[in-house]
Homo-oligomer: A and B are copies of this chain.
Amino acid sequence: MTAVELRRTDILHASAELFADKGVASTTVRQIAARVGVQSGALYHYFPSKSAIVREVVTTYLEQLKARYDEAAPRELDPRARLRAIVEVSLRTAEESPHATVVYQNELPNLRDDPDYRDAKKLADEAQQIWLETINDGKRTGVFREDVPTKVFHRFIRDAVWLSIKWRHPEDAYTTEDLTRDCLTIFLDGFAT
């Protein structure tokens, strides 16, 4: 990695942390520069604009997520195992990249129609497609119930998984493995006795 690439990575990490904590709109390029330890003008040698930083944070994150889904949750798996793999990969990715995860969850929905984020939107759609495909395959093979719309179940479990980043603290005794297990328990078998 060249010195330039290292600095770019520094900027992306500092930005992701600030964006996650206070939102993109409330984060200034001066704050990013201060976190990295340079003056704000220096950032513009690495990125053409603040918006380009946001875009790269989200796009890099989604590329990694999509690659992990493809590897860990191939279509050959039966729907239950595939759903488990998707949940595991998602929670592991959220644990590993908590800031980018928050930025993706908080900001991408509001940026859908901005052409600058077309790549990110495309990747997010592909990732979502893997969830939907899994749920529909499970309905077709009879392991999932057909009386609840795919879209509805998807939103429920998807939000449970991704928003755990906002309430679960990594130092908790309650681990990612615990969360994965409880998530699959609730969503597949229910909370009633």
Select which of B25, B156, B174 is within 8 A of A160 by beta carbon. Answer: B156
A140 at the interface (CB under 8 A from B): no
Q: Which residues of A contact B (CB under 8 A)?
A: 22-23, 25-26, 80, 106, 109-110, 142-145, 147-149, 151-153, 155-156, 159-160, 163-164, 166-167, 174, 179, 182-183, 185-193
Considering the chains assembled together, what is the distance between the CA atoms of A193 and B26 in angstroms?
A: 46
Q: Which residues of B contact A166 (CB under 8 A)?
A: 109
Q: How far is the CB of A136 from the nearest CB of chain B, in Å?
A: 13
The copy count of this chain in the complex is 2
Is there an interface contact between A191 and B187, defined as CB atoms closer than 8 Å? yes
Q: Which residues of B contact A187 (CB under 8 A)?
A: 156, 186, 190-191
**Residue in contact with A159 in the complex, picked from B23, B26, B159, B192, CB distance below 8 Å:** B159
- Roughly how many angstroms separate A106 CA and B167 CA in the complex, as a whole number? 14
Do the beta carbons of B193 and A152 come within 8 Å of each other?
no
